[in-house]
Structure 1
Amino acid sequence: MRQQLEWDDQSMWDGLINGQQDAFTALVMHYTDVLYVYGMRLCQDEELVKDCVQEVFLFMWRRRAYLQQPASLKFYLMKAVRNKIARDLPKWQMKGQPYENEFNFSDFIIELEEHQDAPPAIQRQMKAYIDQLSPRQREILYLRFYEGIKQQKIAEMMNLNNQSVYNLLRNALAALKEKVDYEALIAHLCWLVYLTSAVMNF
């Protein structure tokens, strides 16, 4: 059996499709924490999130002969967990109920390329600003800048069109810029410049 360190996305996927138990185990070990963290941001019901993550993995194993290889395994899994949570929460099962959640950004860590030593007070202030955004704006910020997922994939994951994702992201950044106060101006501007430069890479 190969050691876990030798597994990458392609080898885990190939092994899964071929029914290799060790490949499936490696996939579960590699992505469980990522999916759990994302699921808990969508829904604060820990047991529900754990069940949904487990069900996604079990579905993949049982239906492995019929799966089509995704362009991104991480994106595929995150979308599957998101959809599973949406289906299992009763309030989202109401006909015509739009998807909207209280996306949790409470433990989001602001990472600056050249300003990682920003004071905790500034980080808390930015978190407070982010908390004032809509749930969808918070989720888009998380997916784009924390998970590094591109605009087109975010649109697919959230069942939105590309323009809606662009508008939500642009409005979120504009709202953050309006709330920057004098004391945190330099640190926040550096962070916003970093975000804006990332937007240009869509």
Structure 2
Amino acid sequence: MLQDPFHAVTGETHADNTTHTFECLYRQHEHALFLLASRATKSPEQARDIVQEVFLKLWEKRNNLEHIQDIEAWLYRVTGNKLIDHLRKTAADQRLKTALWNSTQAKNNEPDQLLEARECNQQIHAAINQLAPQRQLIYRLNREEGMNYQAIADTLSISRHTVKNQISFALRSIQRFLGL
């Protein structure tokens, strides 16, 4: 009879029933983590994604939980880390959007200003196009198609961590290219 990998952190014994224990942990903690995430993100959809990522990480690490002494504290720590990652990504996106908006805003219809706005828009597209092919694909899937890191990782058969790093490198490259 196999021991449930969650036994070490829950104290419950469900031999050969890891799924049941995971579901219990999910039901017990999901709502509180969702409230925390939705307060920080101001978006129920983003909060759901973050909580899903937290529980996905728990499931992926289910066989290596013996070192965790307080599962609730671990869940809150992982949620906090995911929120920090999300807020950093959101801030970087907002800086790019603001730069784009500022660079393309023509105060009136003067030909010089319209030309300048077109040139700025072309520079942004050039910055994206100068990215390495895989980095550009990952960036476009995330920013233009709205796919989350895990969906991109699954689609491209790469790790979520690789996706996260590629997005980070892409943002830095675009900002450098634009002189921001």
Confirm or deny a common fold (TM above 0.5): no
TM (norm. structure 2) is 0.40
Structure with the larger helix share: 2
TM (norm. structure 1) is 0.36
